Amino acid sequence: MSEIKDFLTQAENFKMRGELRKAIKVYQKALEENPQNVSVMCNLGELYYMLGDMDDAVKYYEKVVELKPTFSMALYKLGISYFRSTKFSKAIELFQKIIKNEPDLYMAYYWMGLSYYHTGRIRKSLKAYQNLQKRSKNSTLGFYQMAIAYKTLGKYKEAIECLEKILEEDPNVVSVNYHLGLSYLGISNIEKAMEYFRKVLKLDPEHRGAKEMLNQLVNDQEMLYTFGIEAPKDSDDTETLTANYYIGEAYKGFALIDKAFKHFKEQLKKK
């Protein structure tokens, strides 16, 4: 027994110094001495996870769960390891099991939502994030993932609402400001979209996505002025916003450029 303790102490020292491979070797020796030691298996799973070796992480966490089927922390870490291994269906199945036994473990909803998202089941993903939010009402993580799901579903107003709640706590989150720009673009509010993309570039001058979107929108506005249609304002009617939407789509892929020109020419005749 004292030999196992010596192994654990030695392994922990290696771990604290960041020498993870050496720690693994010591834990494996400890496991040879006591093959049923759940604590050692958990440590091995964690170390392999930290090294990005998901196959071995899964192997050891599965052994723990086999010995202790209700060990919720091992189940949780196994679920995350499945997710990191892109075994999304297995991850979903496991997180459902965890939630059934511990419905208030809100981070299980987060990982389940991510797993659903990566399998293209966006509505189920959104439902998982909504359940997360019910159990952790001020979770910025929940609001953020809900926003991404809403945006993917084309529900831009709902996405904006979630993202703006995050900015109430911290107005300088780059990714939140960027997705707000994209969401405002989704409802054809070009002025707001440009405002948020500019803010992103103030926070992160090298942000490639914001640069590309802002350059595209600036070009779009130049195009609008060329054809005599003013840039949109909050008071603009649906027709003007639609015009801006078409030109934005035209610049995205050029597939609609003829349609955009035709639309603007028709607008000019009305002026």
Q: Which domains does the chain have, with CATH numbers?
A: 1-84 (1.25.40.10), 86-155 (1.25.40.10)
pLDDT attached to residue 177: 96
Q: Which residue is associated with the tokens 């400001």? A: 177
User: Distance between CA 133 and CA 127 in Å, rounded?
Assistant: 10
CA distances 195 to 16, 39, 264, Å, are: 46, 52, 24
pLDDT attached to residue 234: 52
Whether the CA torsion 148, 149, 152, 156 is positive or negative: it is negative
The two three-digit tokens of residue 167, written as one number: 């900015």
pLDDT tens, N- to C-terminus, the chain (271 residues): 456 677 778 888 888 888 889 989 988 988 888 888 898 999 999 999 999 999 999 999 999 999 999 888 899 999 999 999 999 999 999 999 999 988 988 899 999 999 999 999 999 999 999 999 999 888 888 899 999 999 999 999 999 999 999 999 999 999 999 999 999 989 988 889 889 999 999 999 999 999 988 888 777 655 555 544 444 455 555 555 555 555 545 444 443 444 555 555 555 455 4
pLDDT attached to residue 131: 94
CA distances 3 to 13, 32, 244, 265, Å, are: 15, 12, 73, 85
pLDDT attached to residue 256: 44
CB 147 within 8 A of CB 111: no
CA distances 67 to 40, 53, 81, 89, 168, Å, are: 13, 22, 18, 23, 46
Burial 5-36 (b: 16+ CB within 10 A, else e): eebbebbeebbeeeebeebbebbeebbeeeee
pLDDT attached to residue 3: 67
User: Distance between CA 58 and CA 143 in Å, rounded?
Assistant: 30
Helix-strand-coil split of the chain, %, nearest 5: 80, 0, 20
